[in-house]
Structure 1
């Protein structure tokens, strides 16, 4: 049985097909030659379940989406107080490659623009280990696989790196860059050429959503304080001079890359990644932004959306007899949001009900967000199509429109009727 979350992601790609504005990054020859029709989207829960649709096997360079993770390593090395003395956290209001430093301190304004990212890369380098080796090893722990470089992209960017070299020499002249400017730029450019997929990025983002713990391995890669600080900087600076529009419309910490990727983090719930190579004037994927806006609206991702903390929707699963018929009863609880309903869907797919009769007891459910209502309805339709009889116990009519896609087959019972029918 296929998850309705995958069906939703397929629909998201289909319904943004008309978004064809923009063009691939034309100042890097290898990126300019990218296929503009490639598109992909992925979600990863804090439990480590990945859902991906589109060109999911397509590898592309991580580009500036590497910046938050390099910054995280610098925080781990130097501490929050130390890193604040070296790199600011204020939005620049300028393009990502602007030749600018804070006029009062001489520091890069934040780690998400190129000046700050070059300084950051130098901070994670040492005599024993290069910054590139460290960041690739970190990417590999984040994704659970060996992450390598796209050598063609790295060479193409290095051949057109004059502006980044200018930034590095400006930083060096201001006393804000440790090490040789050319070495720092070469390492930073190679860092940006790490080759990833949307599933990789969603898993990396979910590690941040999970407070710094990699969902698959359970390894703590970042402390909670570092993760919180990082997400705050991503929220205010991650989308460059479009950060204000992003925070008000999509409303989650995010970072874009000029190859066409965007990652987003909903703390405590999911990591999100999208990919489409056509960029707007800010250097952000046009279709990627459209997909993220749709995801935020449909899935209730906005940080300012009032809701209680998420937990699993599934309280317990019972095998009982109802009206002399074997039945599987799923007892649900709390608020049904994306992450909590996903846990239920995952359980239904991985361990399908063994009985023809399936009961969803929602007497302990408080609130249902639209995404949970839609996902639940689609899951019920799939169960009906497989021949199951479905009963819903919903005393507060929390899901009054809970029907399958054809408006058939779901029975509504009161808690009293269920109790009296139990054998």
Structure 2
């Protein structure tokens, strides 16, 4: 069976792709030449599955999406208390490049604005950044020399911020060197696949979902995602968290990431920006995904368990020779993604397929739709599918009578057994 998840992600791009508003980051000449119509989306689960659609192989500079990962590396190297002496964790309410510091302490408000990011970069060296970012991505990342040169030539505001930090004793290194190193950090090339895996590493407690390498300690990722949730979208952070509810970070090249703890990393790429410096279409994609998938952090889903409890061989007879799959727990996006992947990687070889929902205690809307799509595709592949649903977990679906058929779409009717 072919997984329907790429089709769903493509549908999201199609729905959100019509908005041509926003502007390129014209203050950086190299970014001003970007193709404004590029559009890509990637999702990486914490157990290593990656889905990417659109312009997923197009490389672009990471820009401010580098901030949470540099912050993670600084925390891992120096510890939270030492980093907090240099940079706070409060939302600033100001633009990302504002020349502002906390009254009394002289610290930048948080590590997601430029003042805080420059401070964080001064705590680590260039080699730590390159090596650490590559570990987050699971591959060696390269520098975009053209973007680096272009951005450094127009970095006067960052120079002003760096000299301000040095005058307050927050940064001890040479201000020019700090700006150059930070600009190099922002000029590393990534794709949405890279960013989704980097975000998934945060969501997975610091362990890369594919390589299994521990990049940073678990407690570091909690701190980083908490600051992303409150400060990652600059002066739009409050609107973002109430409407989307996913710890996130944007970059002026058009990238946008989200890290949903224990579930997945998400990334989009679309270069046109809103007045806050966030990708216009990227924000729309995240709003759609959060709504469809129930990914808002405040929804507090039940603890994740494997949705497939077991697989049992069926004897010949009324249902025919085949396999029964016993599901359990919550039929949500993450659980159904694993079921779909299981059916894709180990497709049933016999005609009869029974999906038993006896131990399921919750079916979310996106889970219903994914389950129906799995049923539809199994039938199209030539299988005779039966659903066992004694607790009427699928009652939102139309069926004709107590032991009636379920409409799976495209005229496909699937038997539903209300007793086991």
Corresponding residue for residue 221 of structure 1: 215
Change (3 A) 1:333 1:105: same
Partner residue of 2:377?
382
The Cα offsets for residues 86-130 of structure 1, whole Å up to 9 and x where unpaired, read as: 110000000000011112100011000001001101101xxxxxx
Could you tell me which of 278, 284, 288 is aligned with 1:284? Answer: 278
Mapped contact 1:67–1:117 kept (Cα < 8 A): yes
Q: Distance in 2 between matches of 1:168 and 1:399?
A: 58
Contact residue 391 and residue 418 of structure 2 kept, 8 A: no
Residues 200-215 of structure 1 aligned to structure 2 (within 5 Å): 200-215=194-209
- Structure 1 residue 144 displacement after superposition: 1.6
Candidates 400, 410, 413, aligned match of 2:414: 410
Alignment RMSD (CA, Å): 1.1
Deviates further, 230-239 or 377-386: 377-386
Of 318, 334, 338 in structure 1, the residue corresponding to residue 329 of structure 2 is 334
Rounded to whole Å, the distance in 1 between the matches of 2:110 and 2:33 is 30
Using the TM superposition, give the Cα deviation of residue 405 of structure 1 relative to its aligned residue in structure 2, in angstroms.
2.1
Q: Which residue of 2 is the match for residue 421 of structure 1?
A: none
Measure how far apart 1:81 and its partner are: 1.2
If the length of structure 1 is used for normalisation, what is the TM-score?
0.95
Partner of 1:45: 45
Distance in structure 2 (CA, Å) of the matches to 1:32 and 1:403: 50
Deviation string 1:255-310 (CA, Å, 9 cap, x unpaired) is 00000011001111111101100000000000000000000000101011142122
Q: Does the 8 Å contact 1:206/1:215 carry over to 2? A: yes
Which whole-Å CA distance do the structure 1 matches of 2:349 and 2:107 have between them?
62
State which of 257, 265, 290 in structure 2 corresponds to 1:271. Answer: 265
* Deviates most, 237-246 or 351-360: 351-360
Q: Cα distance, 1:379 vs. partner?
A: 1.4
CA shift at 1:40, angstroms?
A: 0.3
Verify the 8 A CA contact 1:93 1:240 in the aligned structure 2.
yes
The structural deviation recorded for 1:322 is 4.8
Aligned length: 410
Shift of 1:319: 1.9
Q: What does residue 23 of structure 1 align with?
A: 23
Report the 3-state secondary structure (helix = DSSP H, G, I; strand = E; otherwise coil) of the residue aligned with 2:19: coil
Residue 178 of structure 1: how far off its partner (Å): 2.3
In structure 1, the residue corresponding to 2:107 is in which secondary structure? coil
Deviations 1:10-43 (A, max 9, x none): 1001111221110110100111110010000011
Residues 24 and 34, structure 1, Cα contact 8 Å, conserved in 2: yes
Runs of 4+ in 1 over 6 A off after TM superposition: none
Deviation, structure 1 residue 77: 1.3
Instruction: Say if 2:344 is the partner of 1:349.
Output: yes
**Mind listing any 5+ residue stretches in structure 1 that lack a counterpart?**
125-130, 417-423
Question: Which residue of structure 1 aligns with residue 150 of structure 2?
Answer: 156
Return the TM-score normalized by structure 2. 0.96
Give yes or no for contact 1:154–1:193 (8 Å, CA) kept in 2.
yes
In 1, Cα distance between equivalents of 2:179 and 2:316: 68
Kept after mapping to 2: 8 A contact 1:265/1:272: yes
Q: Give the CA deviation at 1:407.
A: 4.2
Q: Give the SS at the match of 1:328.
A: strand
Partner of 2:111: 111
TM alignment of 1:382-401, pairs within 5 A: 382-400=377-395, 401=397
Contact 1:74/1:123 (CA < 8 Å) preserved in 2? yes
**Secondary structure of 2:349's aligned partner:** coil
Q: Which runs of 5+ in 2 are unaligned?
A: 398-405
| CA deviation profile, 1:347-379 (whole Å, cap 9, x unmatched) | 111111111111101100010111111111111
Per the TM alignment, residue 218 of structure 1 is displaced from its structure 2 partner at its CA by 1.4
Q: Report matched runs for 1:7-406 at 5 Å.
A: 7-124=7-124, 131-323=125-317, 325-400=320-395, 401=397, 403-406=407-410
**Structure 1 residue 223: Cα displacement:** 1.4
Partner of 2:402: none
- Kept in 1, the 8 Å contact 2:17–2:39? The answer is no
Distance in 2, matches of 1:134 and 1:4, equals: 39
**Is the CA contact 1:395–1:414 (under 8 Å) kept in the aligned structure 2?**
yes
